[in-house]
């Protein structure tokens, strides 16, 4: 009959759990306790932990001295016995029990910490993959033709005597006394250590099962002796081998089905290359190896999961790889990633390169060494979703990112490609893409003309080349229409081309020497400069002091009206002209201006401090039609290029994301036209006057000379006035 034994765990690691003012109960009972309960936190016994182990198999035992556990759990070991029984407890738990050593694997501190961050159901797989990378150590177990190993000698001492317990207790009496619920500790088991049954799974070590295991566990009257273990070869990267050579061959065959890339893409390598734990999590994605992104280790991701940089193929693969678990937030992030990429990819690669990469991904081959079940799993979870996303991406490129306008030759290649998809689940999507190309090809271009509103029409005065006879509100409205038409034609690619060309900007943010492929952006910027020049010329070309002052007042009213209409482009140009040196030096003119306080209120928006924070606030608060002042945005685009840069073959995606955000804000009101009618005569008057000013800015020198002439005239006029006042007139 089995003899109940007392556990021989040294109680010293638990001394912090006990009080020093209570008596110590006896611990010599021969009856096993159902468990070992402690009321102190787990941190108080952390000093007694020898190591952590990963539970490779399930272990269920009715014995109260045992600690049952499930596969993938991580336990802390506080005692090891030569018999193969280890005393263990759960992290943060308060129950200590015996577990069979053959059911668990010891972990290093680094590996234990890593597995705690892995989903519980995937820990064994992750551990096995790690061991495959490290490589199996040379086995020192005898081969099949070696003699049978000598069984371990029986223990000379199967129980702890009362004298030993009492002497040990006396030595610690002054430090601790066992609490009532820790009166007994589980006895050291004397039954043979059980072994799990042979598993059919690959990629993990599987100890063999002794034939007599069930009988020995069920028998209650067997002597407490240990039997020799059968020969096993258990390594981190090998399956179990027994004396049967056939089993060994089968194990090697199964092991050969492991992905050849699994041993190369280790956790350490990925984290070292990317410098980010989140990149490792993205690469693993809690997926089996054949569902993981093929280039996931070439992405750098920050702690919040944002992509920082990556190779071109890795960034493209990220567009269409959706094998992981999905949730609304993840879906929204993926959609935003595609929008950013399709807006900015021309700064990274040519449209032909992107098209060829997407077609190659659509036609990707299945991974090798897949079983029939694994192939169906890969087809369902990876191949089909990826092909669907490739076609979805082509549709987004067509409808939202100007494929026909920017790359018409890609549309022809795309048509040829999708026409080959005539069967299968995506035949309808392919036909839809062909129909979309045809629809967009023959569709009328979007009109930027304002909506005619009869109620807004006014009775226009005939200009007759006299600015002061016109209505300032009419001038402001027609300027808004003119500026909006130019603004609505600007494309995101023109803004990004500015960054690629490293074009310079002037002090007020307006571009100088823009790239040649930015005609719409160039025309919009040129209109800003021409309007400022026109304002300056109308003031300087008036010889009469009163008319100069009236002209200044007129343009202040136009600027104020533009401010109310959210036409910040014209407002900025007018303010720049009125605050220029050639106008400010005309002190006598300003002495007769009646709306100078209004101008002072507008000037605060034109300050370049804080990145034109005044204009930014105005434009973000604008509701309805708006023509923004784009100088600050173009300056920011150039600065982003200096702040973030590509490194080697890795492109900075955070740079492209910042560009996307700036361009999105800059062009966000393109779809909101002004609902006012065009006044043909006033619009013609504006166009004729601005057309006379060349883009070479030769007029700046003329303005300076004319300003000096007017200033001298004002000084002479002031001297005459002072003389008349002195004479008593």
Q: Which residue has the higher pLDDT, 153 or 59?
A: 59
pLDDT per residue over 580-605, tens digit each?
999 999 999 999 999 999 999 999 99
d(CA 607, CA 618): 13
Structure-block tokens of residue 536:
């300056």
Mean pLDDT score of the chain: 75
Confidence of residue 337 (pLDDT cuts 50, 70, 90): very high
pLDDT per residue over 62-82, tens digit each?
888 899 999 999 999 999 988
Q: Which residue has the higher pLDDT, 325 or 5?
A: 325
Q: What is the mean pLDDT of residues 367-393?
A: 92
pLDDT of residue 197: 55
φ and ψ of 699, to 5 deg = -70, -15
Among 153, 143, 145, 147, residue whose Cα is nearest residue 227: 153
Confidence of residue 626 (pLDDT cuts 50, 70, 90): very high
Residue 219 in this model has a pLDDT that exceeds 70 = no
φ and ψ of 175, to 5 deg = -105, -35
pLDDT of residue 328: 84
Q: What percent of the chain has pLDDT over 70?
A: 64
DSSP secondary structure letter of residue 149: P
pLDDT per residue over 118-138, tens digit each?
888 888 878 887 776 565 444
Give 197's Cβ-side CA count (13 Å radius): 4
Q: What is the mean pLDDT of residues 636-647?
A: 90
Domain-by-domain residue ranges, the chain? Answer: 12-254, 267-441, 468-715
Q: What is the mean pLDDT of residues 543-572?
A: 96
Confidence of residue 461 (pLDDT cuts 50, 70, 90): low
Give 498's Cβ-side CA count (13 Å radius): 32
pLDDT of residue 455: 41
d(CA 348, CA 341): 9
d(CA 188, CA 160): 10
d(CA 360, CA 46): 54
pLDDT of residue 7: 47
pLDDT per residue over 657-677, tens digit each?
999 999 999 999 999 999 999
pLDDT per residue over 431-458, tens digit each?
999 999 999 988 766 555 444 444 445 5
Confidence of residue 459 (pLDDT cuts 50, 70, 90): low
pLDDT of residue 88: 93
Among 614, 612, 642, residue whose Cα is nearest residue 506: 612
Q: What is the mean pLDDT of residues 378-406?
A: 93
pLDDT of residue 127: 85
Structure-block tokens of residue 502:
């490293």
Q: In CATH, which of 1.20.870.10, 1.10.287.3510, 3.40.50.300, 2.60.40.1180 is domain 267-441?
A: 1.20.870.10
φ and ψ of 54, to 5 deg = -105, 130
Q: Are 606 and 572 in contact (CB under 8 A)?
A: yes
Q: What is the mean pLDDT of residues 458-478?
A: 80
Q: Which of 133-137, 359-363, 542-546, 670-674 has the lowest mean pLDDT?
A: 133-137
pLDDT of residue 67: 92
d(CA 521, CA 528): 11
pTM: 0.59
Rounded to the nearest angstrom, the gap between the alpha carbon of residue 364 and the centroid of all alpha carbons in its chain is: 25
pLDDT of residue 76: 93
Q: Which residue has the higher pLDDT, 189 or 349?
A: 349
pLDDT per residue over 309-322, tens digit each?
999 999 999 999 87
Q: What is the mean pLDDT of residues 628-648?
A: 91
d(CA 539, CA 706): 10
pLDDT of residue 170: 47
Residue 145 in this model has a pLDDT that exceeds 60 = no
pLDDT per residue over 157-215, tens digit each?
333 444 443 444 444 444 433 333 433 344 445 556 666 654 443 333 333 333 333 44
Q: What percent of the chain has pLDDT over 90?
A: 45
Determine the 3-state secondary structure of 172 from DSSP: coil
Q: Are 115 and 126 in contact (CB under 8 A)?
A: yes
pLDDT of residue 671: 93
Residues 6+ apart with CB under 8 A from 204: 56, 124, 125, 127, 128, 239
Q: What is the mean pLDDT of residues 237-243?
A: 34
Burial 674-709 (b: 16+ CB within 10 A, else e): bebbbbeebbebbeebbeebeeeeebeeebeebbee
Structure-block tokens of residue 44:
């108080």
pLDDT of residue 462: 57
pLDDT of residue 608: 85
Tell me, yes or no, if the two domains 267-441 and 468-715 fold the same way.
no
Confidence of residue 6 (pLDDT cuts 50, 70, 90): very low
Cβ burial, residue 241 (10 Å; 0-12/13-18/19+): buried
Residue 714 in this model has a pLDDT that exceeds 60 = yes
Q: What is the mean pLDDT of residues 541-569?
A: 95
Q: Which of 293-307, 350-364, 500-514, 702-716 has the lowest mean pLDDT?
A: 500-514
Confidence of residue 467 (pLDDT cuts 50, 70, 90): very high
Residues 6+ apart with CB under 8 A from 122: 72, 286
pLDDT of residue 305: 80
Q: What is the mean pLDDT of residues 473-494?
A: 96
Work out the end-to-end distance of the chain between its first and last CA atoms, rounded to an integer number of angstroms. 138
User: In the CATH scheme, what is the code of domain 468-715?
Assistant: 1.10.840.10
Q: Are 652 and 344 in contact (CB under 8 A)?
A: no
């Amino acid at each position: 009959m089995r003899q109940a034994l007392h556990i021989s765990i040294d109680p010293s690691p638990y001394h912090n759990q006990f009080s020093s003012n209570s008596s110590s109960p006896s611990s010599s009972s021969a009856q096993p306790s159902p468990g070992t309960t402690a009321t102190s936190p787990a941190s108080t016994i952390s000093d007694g932990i020898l190591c952590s182990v990963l539970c490779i198999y399930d272990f269920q035992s009715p014995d109260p001295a045992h600690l049952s556990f499930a596969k993938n759990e991580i336990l802390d070991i506080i005692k090891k016995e030569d018999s193969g029984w280890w005393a263990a407890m759960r992290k943060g738990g308060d129950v200590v029990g015996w577990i069979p050593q053959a059911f668990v694997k010891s972990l290093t501190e680094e590996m234990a910490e890593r597995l705690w961050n892995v989903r519980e159901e995937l820990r064994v797989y992750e551990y096995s993959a790690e061991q495959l990378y490290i490589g199996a150590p040379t086995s020192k177990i005898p081969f099949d033709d070696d003699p049978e190993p000598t069984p371990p000698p029986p223990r000379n001492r199967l129980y702890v005597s009362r004298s030993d317990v009492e002497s040990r207790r006396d030595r610690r009496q002054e430090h601790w006394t066992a609490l009532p619920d820790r009166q007994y500790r589980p006895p050291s088991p004397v039954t043979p250590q059980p072994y799990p049954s042979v598993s059919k799974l690959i990629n993990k070590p599987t100890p063999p099962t002794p034939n007599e295991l069930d009988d020995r566990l069920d028998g209650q009257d067997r002597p407490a002796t240990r039997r020799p273990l059968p020969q096993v070869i258990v390594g981190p990267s090998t399956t179990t081998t027994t004396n049967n050579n056939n089993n060994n061959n089968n194990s090697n065959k199964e092991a050969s089905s492991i992905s050849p890339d699994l041993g190369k893409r280790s956790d350490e390598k990925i984290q070292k290359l990317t410098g980010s734990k989140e990149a490792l999590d993205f690469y693993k994605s809690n997926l089996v190896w054949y569902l993981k992104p093929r280039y996931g280790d070439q992405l750098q991701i920050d702690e919040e999961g944002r992509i920082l940089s990556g190779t071109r193929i890795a960034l493209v693969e990220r567009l269409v790889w959706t094998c992981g678990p999905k949730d609304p937030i993840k879906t929204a992030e993926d959609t935003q990633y595609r929008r950013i990429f399709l807006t900015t990819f021309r700064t990274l690669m040519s449209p032909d390169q992107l098209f060829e990469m997407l077609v190659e991904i659509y036609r990707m081959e299945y991974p090798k060494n897949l079983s029939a079940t694994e192939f169906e799993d890969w087809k369902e979870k990876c191949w089909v979703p990826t092909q669907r996303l490739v076609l979805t991406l082509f549709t987004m490129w067509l409808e939202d990112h100007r494929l026909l306008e920017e790359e018409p030759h890609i549309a022809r290649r795309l048509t040829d490609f999708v026409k080959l998809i005539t069967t299968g689940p995506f035949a309808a999507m392919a036909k839809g893409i062909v129909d979309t190309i045809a629809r967009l090809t023959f569709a009328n271009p979007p009109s930027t003309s304002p909506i005619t509103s009869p109620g807004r029409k006014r009775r226009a005065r005939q200009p007759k080349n006299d600015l002061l006879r016109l209505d300032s509100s009419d001038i402001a409205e027609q300027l808004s229409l003119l500026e909006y038409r130019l603004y609505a034609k600007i494309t995101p690619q023109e803004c990004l081309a500015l960054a690629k060309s490293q074009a310079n900007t002037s002090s007020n943010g307006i571009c100088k020497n823009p790239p040649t492929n930015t005609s719409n952006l160039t025309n919009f910027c040129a209109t800003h400069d021409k309007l400022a020049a026109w304002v300056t010329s109308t003031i300087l070309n008036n010889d009469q002091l009163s008319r100069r002052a009236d002209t200044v007042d007129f343009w202040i009213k136009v600027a104020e009206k533009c401010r109310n209409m959210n036409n910040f482009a014209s407002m900025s140009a007018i303010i720049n002209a009125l605050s220029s040196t050639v106008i400010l030096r005309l002190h006598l003119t300003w002495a007769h201006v009646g709306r100078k306080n209004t101008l002072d209120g507008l000037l605060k928006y034109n300050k370049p401090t804080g990145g034109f924070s005044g204009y930014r606030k105005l434009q973000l608060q604008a509701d309805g039609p708006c023509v923004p002042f784009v100088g600050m945005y173009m300056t920011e685009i150039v600065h982003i290029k200096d702040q973030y840069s590509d490194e080697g073959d890795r492109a900075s995606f955070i740079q492209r994301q910042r560009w996307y955000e700036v361009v999105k804000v800059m062009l966000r009101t393109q779809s909101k036209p002004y609902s006012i009618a065009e006044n043909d005569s006033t619009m013609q008057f504006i166009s004729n006057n601005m057309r006379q000013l060349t883009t070479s800015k030769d007029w700046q020198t003329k303005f300076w000379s004319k300003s000096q002439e007017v200033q001298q005239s004002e000084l002479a006029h002031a001297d005459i006035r002072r003389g008349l006042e002195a004479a008593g007139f």
